[in-house]
Amino acid sequence: ATAAVTVAQDSLLNICMDAKHHKTEPGPEGQLYGQCVLWKDNACCTANTSVEAHQDQSYLYNFNWDHCGAMPEKCKRHFIQDTCLYECSPNLGPWIDQADTSWRKERIRDVPLCQEDCEQWWEDCQDAVTCKVNWHKGWNWTTGTNQCPKGAMCQKFKFVFPTAAALCEQIWSGSYRYTSYHRGSGRCIQMWFDPAQENPNVAVAQYYA
C-alpha cells in the first residue's frame, strides 16, 4: 500500500498540466524571459510563452489587462507573475483539477498562496480598475479580445475586491486560496522567490502531495 501511495504522490510532483500552452514534461529552459526567469532550471513553459506572458493582449489568451483603462505597472507585474507561475511552474500538481473548456483539459484550484504574495498583489492593485469579479468568464469577446459586458461598471479593485483574500480567490474562480502561511513556511506557494535560491515551491508540492 505504501508503494501505491508513493506512486500516487510522485504522479503529483514535477508535472505540467494539460492546458493550452504547457509543455508535456517540465525541463530546463535557458532563455526564459523577464519575470518568468525564476523557472528557467525546470519549467512547463517555453521561452516564447514566457515572452508572451509579458505582453498586453498576448496571443496566449488575447486577454486585455487594460479593459477599464491602463493598468498601473506596479499592478500589472503581479498579473505577469501570476501568468508565469501558471504557465511555468512544475509544482502545481496537487491542485490540478479537470477543466471542461475548449482550450484546456486541466486547471488549478485552491492553490494555497502565501499571505505576503496575496497582500502585496492587492496592495499594488487596489487603485487599478476593472468591471468584473471573475475574470474567467462573462466577458464580451465580439472584438476578439475581452471587453466589459454590457452594463458592467468600471470600478477600482478595492471596491470590486474589498480584501486581499477576495482578490486572490475570486479573480480566477478559485484557482488560488488565501492562506495565513508565510513565505518560507513550506506550506504555501510563492508567486515570487529569489532566483538565486532554490525554488521553495518544490517542498510545498511535496508536503501537499
- Reduced to 3 states (helix: H, G, I; strand: E, B; else coil), residue 109 is coil
Calculate Rg over the CA atoms of the chain. Answer: 17
- Least confident range of 13-22, 49-58, 185-194: 49-58
Residues 94, 208 contacting (CB under 8 angstroms)? yes
Q: Residues 6 or more apart from 101 whose CB is under 8 A from it?
A: 107
Q: In this structure, what C-alpha cell is assigned to residue 119? A: 497582500
pLDDT digits (tens, 9 = 90+) for 39-52: 999 999 999 999 99
Domain that holds residue 148: 1-208
pLDDT, tens digit, 9 for 90 and up, residues 84-137: 999 999 999 999 998 877 778 899 999 999 999 999 999 999 999 999 999 999
| Cell numbers at 46, concatenated | 517555453
Backbone angles phi, psi at 89, to 5 degrees: -70, 130
Write the DSSP string, 48-99.
HHHHHTTSTT-TTT---TTBTBPPPHHHHHHHHHHHHHHHH-S--GGGEEEE
Into how many domains does the chain fold? 1
Cell of 152: 458592467
* CA pair distance 174, 160, nearest whole angstrom: 16
Residue 206, class by beta-carbon neighbours within 10 Å (0-12 exposed, 13-18 middle, 19+ buried)? middle
Q: Are 125 and 156 in contact (CB under 8 A)?
A: no
| pLDDT tens sequence across 133-173 | 999 999 999 999 999 999 999 999 999 999 999 999 999 99
